[in-house]
Amino acid sequence: MSKTLIIAEKPSVATDIQKALGGMSRVKSDAGDYFEGEQYVVASAVGHLLELAVPEKYDVKRGKWTFAHLPLIPPEFTLKPIAKSESRLKLLAKLIRRKDIGCLINACDAGREGELIFRYIVQATKAKQPIKRLWLQSMTQSSIRSAFEHLRSDQEMQPLAQAARSRSEADWLVGINGTRAMTAFNSKNGGFFLTTVGRVQTPTLAVVVSREVEIRAFKPRDYWQVEADFSASAGEYAGVWFNPSFKKGADLDDKADRIWSGEKAQEIRAKCDGKTGVVRETKKRVKHAAPPLFDLTTLQREANNRFGYTAKTTLALAQALYEKHKVLSYPRTDAKCLPTDYVENARSTLSLLTQLPQFASLAGKPVFNGWVKPDPRIFNTAKISDHFALVPLPDHLPAKLSEPEAKIYDLVARRFIAVFYPACEVDETTRVTEVEGECFKTRGNVMVDPGWRAVYGMAAGAMGKDGALPAVSEGERVRALKAEVVKKATVPPPRYTEATLLSAMEGAGRMVEDDELRSAMQEKGIGTPATRAAIIEGLIVQKYLIREGRELRPTAKAFELLSLLKGLKVEELSEPALTGEWESRLAQIEHGTLSRDEFMAGIRGMTEKIVEAARRYEGDSVPIEAPVHLKHR
């Protein structure tokens, strides 16, 4: 009897699929286990098993890269196994070649990269069987069974497959040729000076260098503030002078509470010191919803801010919690929602978390109070591409975690619990005290109902630096007990940390002026959650960036590269717009409105332009100019 081989992207997904289908036994193998029953064989990759290779007859060994061998544009692309997972590829090849395997089902992740992983396996193993596509957006048992009832045809998936291959080959062409051309240029006077470039790493580097240029060009400006302490019948409070008619203009340094003349500041102080003023204030109750569930990038940012963990470290810890301890969902996700049908699983996870002492009094409340509802802000399959948000799993409690692993689990678990709690309610008070025609502003916040903030140990009461304010009646007269002038200075923008660089990469679409390209990058940014940590680490390994404490600082090599690209007039390699343009055109391939041949012809043209520009360039470098508008603090 003919059987169907189902290939998942990861072992955990293969396990979930065989559970949903039932009737299968585990078969142990040195290369990894698989499952087999009367109708199905279920096996998995472990992510990417193959990568594009330089065809041997076109290859030139590192250290001998010259323009004579460029551009490197092979007539066809070859694949090579990734060494660490080669045994898994051999297992899949053995299963594919079995005479009783009559059909293949692609059960890799629902998205472009999942399609690419499967297509490369088929190509490398020369599989001849008919192909069907399992499109999974949720890993619940009912969703898996439903997806099997609606398998997609191979023909239906061809546009996505073509877009996936195009993305892979385009990155390869630009990365290989750009790196070898820049290296050849920098090595033309002898030696070997590796100069890597890429569609993703170079724009990321440009973001950091641009900030460094701002910092170096920055010139501090002195300004003054007038601060006063006021005495009301119910107590004392402080205020800061401000200009109520202030409007933001071209001067980015200017703010309503800044005075650019020390003499004027002293005049205001003398005018108000010891005088009586009148108070008016406004109060409004504000509700703050819990932050959304973590995707990988927001988890990496939070862990960097809280614990100083690098993006690479956080990913490794989350991966261990997923693979080794089996207590977290798949971490390489860009989604902040759960599938629409995941409500019961969420209730089960909360019930499980009550067994942990730190969550015992917190995790049960959402279930007991009926707060776990099909809220589209939390449960929304339409907002999930490949994987749902990073959350604790309902199957196992964590045991024997290292301290760093426990910290990451705690971050994810608290965020998961908090998202089901009611909004935090705060009374925000803005008080204006007018003395001799001059206005002083005071703010105070009082937490009325902590809501989700209770998960983080907060209770009702004063919050923030100013805290609660002594009560005043409308129009009450108060005395300025003491007024003083404080001299300050503007400061440059801060250097990027990994947390802020991850945010910049995620939001890189905002840097793109073209509306269509910005829209294409809306969900993408520079890189993906799965690759951003490796991009940052790669820039450090290649000595483009160095870590100083939590800060990332560009090296001279980084400035030289971007200066060279500017001199060559191939700045698009360092601009986020290139990613936006590619994403836009790849989406057109997916929708059948642009041919793969047309896209790749454009990529080959770009590759030839880069190589030719480097070959003909006679200069050394071009100074990097400071941005026109510097955002001072």
The residues that are catalytic are 330
Written as one letter, the residue type at 199 is R
Q: Exposed, middle or buried by CB within 10 Å (0-12, 13-18, 19+), for 622?
A: middle
CB atoms within 10 A of CB 342: 25
Phi, psi dihedrals of residue 214, rounded to the nearest 5°: -60, -45
Cα separation of the two ends of the chain? 72
Q: What are residue 242's DSSP bridge partners?
A: 439
Structural contact between residues 297 and 502, judged by C-beta atoms closer than 8 angstroms:
yes
Distance, in Å, from the CA atom of 364 to the CA atom of 354, rounded to the nearest integer, reads 6
Residue where the block lists tokens 């009367």: 38
Alpha helices for 22-111 (secondary structure H): 86-96
Confirm if 445 and 464 have CB atoms less than 8 A apart.
yes
- Torsion, Cα of 371, 374, 377, 383 (10° steps): 150
Under 8 Å between Cβ of 201 and 182: no
Any alpha helices (H) in 339-432, and if so which ranges?
343-353, 364-368, 403-418
Q: Which DSSP category does 395 fall into?
A: S
Beta strands 3-8 and 40-44, pairing class: parallel
Question: With left for phi above 0 and alpha for psi between -120 and 50, is residue 467 left, alpha or beta?
Answer: left
Cα distances (Å, whole numbers) of residue 70 to 73, 74, 304, 540, 604 = 8, 11, 41, 27, 12
Of 454, 453, 85, nearest to 291 (Cα)? 453
What is the enclosing helix (H) or strand (E) of 297? helix 296-307
Closest CA to 504 of 514, 513, 492, 512: 512
Q: Which residues contact 618 (CB under 8 A, 6 or more apart)?
A: none
